Every structure is written in C-alpha cells, then in structure tokens.
Amino acid sequence: MEGHGNSNSPKEYSYTDQSVLSSSLSKYQYRLKQIDTDGSFKYSKIIEVEFGTIPTEYVLKQNFPNPFNPATVISYAISTNSFVSVKVYDLLGNLITTLVSRNQEAGIYKVSFTANELSNGVYFYRISANGFLSTKKMLLLK
C-alpha cells in the first residue's frame, strides 16, 4: 500500500488479509516491507497472529451486506461440536434453501447465499445447533 511520504507525525496503516481461514484454528506470520523513495528497503520483525479461536457461545450474526443484491454472507459461531442447520425462508415461512446441514467442529463459520432467482423482499435465515435457535432478517433489493 502506498505510504504517506515524508512526515514528522505518526501515521497509521491497516490491512485485512482475506485469505485467513476463520473456520479453523490457524497461525499466520506477517512482516512489513518498507520501500524508501530511493528503492532501498527493510523488513520488519515477523509477528505471529492466531486466528479462529474457539468461541465461548453460539452466535448468529447479521448478514453482510444487508440489504444485498444478489449475494450476501452469513456468519455464525458454535462453541461445541454440533449438528448445524442454516436455512433461508421467505416472508410466509416457506423454505427457500438449506445452506448448511452437517456436523461441524466448534469454530467460526461463513456461508454465502446468492439470490439470483428470487424477487425483492424480506427473507429470514435461521440457525439450529445443539438446542441453539436464532433467526435474523435480511433484505434483497435488486
């Protein structure tokens, strides 16, 4: 990423690593490469970051983006190994699709939902896992 150039004041930078697998425990190593205007460069010390720590509770998060067109991502966390079901329903309660229906290890998960063939409107998604039930609303706007 482009730097701020010469400066006497502190600057902050951030980067989101899209390749991180959040559904399992993983360690990643990072370092920075600073390239000066004359082409010379230095590497920072390596830091190690652990992702995907085991959640302490069951959670169903709000889909993102919401409203969406035509795709969105639904995130959830399960604190123990469980049979997980994630389903999408229309406003009348009719089942549209089952996104997840399997045993999963404790962890954080993301599932994509694409609604190319659905009409505008309100839809609901619901998780069921080890006695945990939660439902959220999402809006499809084409």
64 and 95: one domain?
A: yes
CB 61 within 8 A of CB 78: no
Q: Is residue 76 part of a domain?
A: yes
Res 139: pLDDT: 97
> Alpha carbon 103 to chain centroid distance?
19
Q: Is residue 69 part of a domain?
A: yes
Domain range for 22: 17-53
84 and 119: one domain?
A: yes
- What distance in Å separates the CA atoms of residue 114 and residue 42, rounded to the nearest whole number? 44
Q: Is residue 1 part of a domain?
A: no
DSSP 111: E
> pLDDT per residue over 64-122, tens digit each?
999 999 999 999 999 999 999 999 999 999 999 999 999 998 888 999 999 999 999 99
DSSP 38: T
Contacts of 78 (CB under 8 A, 6+ apart): 55, 58, 84, 104, 106, 107, 109, 129, 130, 132
Q: Is residue 3 part of a domain?
A: no
Q: Is the whole model's pTM more than 0.85, yes or no?
A: no
Q: Is residue 6 part of a domain?
A: no
> pLDDT per residue over 5-25, tens digit each?
776 777 777 777 777 665 556
Q: Is residue 9 part of a domain?
A: no
| Percent share of the chain, pLDDT over 70 | 89
67 and 133: one domain?
A: yes
45 and 63: one domain?
A: no
The DSSP result for 40-94, as a single string, is -EEEPPPEEEEE-PPPSS-EEPPPBSSSBSSEEEEEEEESS-EEEEEEEEETTS-
Res 135: pLDDT: 98
What the block records as the tokens of 49 is: 């970051």
Count of domains in the chain?
A: 2
CATH assignment at residue 119: 2.60.40.1930
Q: Is residue 10 part of a domain?
A: no
75 and 109: one domain?
A: yes
Q: Is residue 12 part of a domain?
A: no
